[in-house]
Amino acid sequence: MVSRGFTLIELVVVIVILGVLAAIALPRFIDLTGDAERASIQSFTGALAAAQSLAFTKMTVAGVGYASHSELSLNQIVRCASNPQIGPNGNSWGGHYIALAGLRSSVFSDPVQNACSGNTISFNTKSGRSVTITNSASGIAWSATPAY
């Protein structure tokens, strides 16, 4: 007798295997938006650190530099509507800043928001998180509430 098709046991085994794979793999792909936001913020934080180093070097070469990178505040390297860029000698430090256009369109919940004060940049993301980027002696770091 020749049998064609699948037995009930074979079908149940396949369904169980698919269920186990779904239980393991599905949670990994649930928060793709959050992962993309986190990657954008990490990328921006890295760009801030690079811009801070570049601005520190340019100011040092110009003879108006600070003693260390951490003394160079974030609002001196990021274009913020609320704060003009002022160099350590009190003059305008125009032209050497990071534009937030890409981050604003992909991450910010309100494209025109941007709160800068000294060594802190704060904004809300499209997913409803409140993000704060800070500059300290240990470097540039960020935090989000609720956490990613």
Question: Is residue 64 included in any domain, yes or no?
Answer: yes
Is residue 10 one of the residues assigned to a domain?
no
pLDDT given for residue 18 in this prediction:
93
Which domain, by its residues, includes 105? 31-145
What stretches of 31-100 show up as alpha helix (H) in DSSP?
A: 32-61
Instruction: Note down pLDDT in tens along the chain; length 148 residues.
Output: 677 888 999 999 999 999 998 888 877 777 777 888 888 889 888 888 887 787 778 777 777 767 776 677 776 666 655 555 555 555 665 554 555 555 555 566 555 555 666 678 888 888 888 888 888 877 888 999 988 8
- Asked if the structure places residue 3 within a domain, the reply is no
- Gap between the Cα atoms of 67 and 58, Å rounded: 13
- What's the pLDDT score for residue 11? 94
Distance of alpha carbon 123 from its chain centroid, rounded? 11
Domain count for the chain, please give it: 1
pLDDT number for residue 14: 95
H/E stretch holding 14: helix 8-30
- Establish if 14 belongs to a structural domain: no
pLDDT at 51: 78
Residue 15: the pLDDT is: 96
pTM (predicted TM-score): 0.61
Q: Residue 114: which of 77, 143, 82 has the closest Cα?
A: 82
**Residue 15 included in any domain:** no
pLDDT reported for residue 10 = 93
Q: Helices in 62-100 by DSSP H: which ranges? A: none
Q: Is residue 20 part of a domain?
A: no
Q: Would residue 17 count as lying in a domain?
A: no
* pLDDT reported for residue 108: 61
Q: Is residue 116 part of a domain?
A: yes
